[in-house]
A and B are shown apart, each in its own frame.
Chain A
Amino acid sequence: MAARSRARPAWRLIPEIDRDPTLVTGVQGVTGRIALCGAVAVLVALLSLVGIDFSAALLAMGCAYAGTYRRIFILLATSLLLYRSGFLVDAPLLERLAAQEGVTDRISQPLLQSAMLTLVFALFSGLLVLQGNAATALRRPTMCLLLGFLGLVLATQSTLTIGMPRVLLWSFLVTCQPYLWFLAYALADAGKERSPVWQKLSVFHPFWGATLTPFGKGLSYLRRFEAKTPEELAVTQLKGVKLAAWTLLLAVGRGCFNELVHGILWLPTFDDTLLRHIVHDPYPRWIGWTSLIAYFVEDLLGMTVFGGIIVATARLAGFRLLRNTYRPLESASLADFWNRYYFYFKELLVDHFFYPTFVRCFRSHRRLRLFFATFVAACLGNLLFHFIRDIRFVVDMGLWNAVVGEQSHAFYTFVLAMSVAVSQLRRVPQRATRGWLRGRLLPCLWVCGFFCILHVFDAPLDREHTLWQRAEFLFYLLGVTT
């Protein structure tokens, strides 16, 4: 992220509107605000033409101008969007489970989901209150939270929970799961963040967007990035407009790239190439390589567009969040790429796995300490995050098959962790005078090549393809097998 503060070129594709004093002053007035809302409405319309929903930006503009009612606005906007999406509960999964357990006729799904939502948010509130009190606070809240969640997953596998108890347990888990990492941040913050509990809950899946990964972490982090003065708000919103415009360009670029690669050149997707190899009818090797590289480019563009929309919306709401994906192709090391590719996920792993391990384990062994903490975060934390994210596989396939199905992703996280750890240990900050070829191009090619190849073990992230099938495909690409 250090590159964020480097000198910028004079000419830019998207003008630096946030640095223009006239504009910054202008959008603080009524006319300027109306013009800004108009510009945002145009961006919403243009983005919808390329299939991107940016409508939350209109809520964000309301949030920005809500003044002292901003917190209430966030709560209402977040609740509204969560209500619209069924509070992110995987209802079809629960219906399937009820049928499997033969209790469909004994329960009303809407009633059960409402009751579970009430229970879950009451429990979250209680936990946050207890964590805010030094006498009752958990010393390692994330670990307790994860152990509690995984303990209940184990309990669902017991023969004692067959039937209704299993449905109730899964209903609880599936209701909790989308908010788990938001709760982890809120619990970690509880000691220093004295805001009312409803304010902390209002940023659980905030209206500007998130996945299971919180974009903007918790309330205390957001507070640090919140615009405090009209001028800060103007600059933050202009940054939001700028990012939205850049994201629009990237989205158009992604569309053109897809059309070129799959529409005009008829190149198969990476998934197709892998599947064809698995059924012993492989495409030529060069097509395999091309589809892998195309997938890597599509993934980078997709991640940049997806994160850009969320961060742009947060900025329009008055929160000057850092970008999620920031010039990943400029990465000079594996650790740097990971930092630039999916910033908020990396932050989640760093905050909840890396630092807690780093400050506690192997304190007198400098290199081992760094290596171990990186391994815990990038491998174990990463694996655990994805296991929880894809918890539906446990319902559909059973615990054992779901765990075994993680083998390929486990290998991916293991290689990733080892590589990032070695990259961190080898990192010696270099003055930026190594020349373009040695200092920029070669490291970038190495980093991109590494992550591109590693995708073989990560995509598609399902539980169908074994580690060996993917390894065989890689051997085929490398010319080891025919």
Chain B
Amino acid sequence: MTVVPASEVKSRMRSYIMQRLLMKGDGAPLHDDDLLFSSGRLDSLDAVELIMSVETDYGINFSDLGFDLTRLDSISAIARLVEQSSVEPA
């Protein structure tokens, strides 16, 4: 698996998540460490879309990882997940 730079993952994810937040009328700023699901800004259906996006874009199989939503709970967490999965494919 190709190692994707964390900055690229963050930039892509920020744009994707911002888009979903805007669709919900949430235009508040979004920082890399802001909680997405724990804060209630995104819901479980957004999680589903996010999972599918990460699976498609980075080839991650969540069933192999042992699914844990906290690993998607911020842009930084998603970047870490992608980085770890690229280094140590399950």
Q: Are A1 and B43 in contact (CB under 8 A)?
A: yes
Q: How many A-B residue pairs have CB under 8 A?
A: 73
Across the interface, which residues of A come within 8 angstroms of B39, CB to CB?
A: 4-5
**B26 touches A (CB below 8 Å):** yes
Q: Are A429 and B23 in contact (CB under 8 A)?
A: yes
Across the interface, which residues of A come within 8 angstroms of B84, CB to CB?
A: none
B21 and chain A: residue at smallest CB distance: A2
- Interface flags, B19-30, vs A, CB<8A=1, else 0: 011111110100
Give the residues from 198 to 240 in chain A that come closer than 8 angstroms, CB to CB, to chain B. 220-221, 224-225
Across the interface, which residues of A come within 8 angstroms of B45, CB to CB?
A: 335, 424, 427
Query: Which of A37-45, A63-71, A350-358 contacts its partner?
Result: A350-358
Give the residues from 357 to 371 in chain A that come closer than 8 angstroms, CB to CB, to chain B. 358-360, 363, 366, 370
B38 and chain A: residue at smallest CB distance: A224
**A415 touches B (CB below 8 Å):** no
Across the interface, which residues of B come within 8 angstroms of A356, CB to CB?
A: 67
Bound: A271/B25 CA distance, A:
41
Across the interface, which residues of B come within 8 angstroms of A366, CB to CB?
A: 52
Q: Are A5 and B28 in contact (CB under 8 A)?
A: yes
Partner of B25, one of A2, A191, A359, A363: A2
Across the interface, which residues of B come within 8 angstroms of A418, CB to CB?
A: none
Q: Are A224 and B42 in contact (CB under 8 A)?
A: no
**B35 touches A (CB below 8 Å):** yes
Across the interface, which residues of B come within 8 angstroms of A191, CB to CB?
A: 66
B40 and chain A: residue at smallest CB distance: A1
**A108 touches B (CB below 8 Å):** no
**B81 touches A (CB below 8 Å):** no
Instruction: Knowing A224-B38, A322-B40, A359-B51, say if A6 contacts B66 (CB, 8 Å).
Output: no
B68 and chain A: residue at smallest CB distance: A192
Q: Are A5 and B62 in contact (CB under 8 A)?
A: no
The 7 closest A-B pairs by CB, nearest first: A429-B23, A2-B24, A1-B40, A359-B62, A432-B25, A4-B40, A360-B63
| Interface residue ranges, A against B (CB under 8 Å) | 1-6, 139, 191-192, 220-221, 224-225, 322, 335, 339, 346-347, 350-351, 354-356, 358-360, 363, 366, 370, 373, 424, 427, 429-432
| Interface residue ranges, B against A (CB under 8 Å) | 20-26, 28, 35, 38-45, 47-48, 51-52, 55, 61-63, 66-70
12 A/B residue pairs, CB under 8 Å, sorted by A: A4-B40, A5-B28, A192-B70, A221-B38, A322-B40, A339-B43, A347-B44, A351-B69, A355-B47, A370-B48, A431-B23, A431-B25
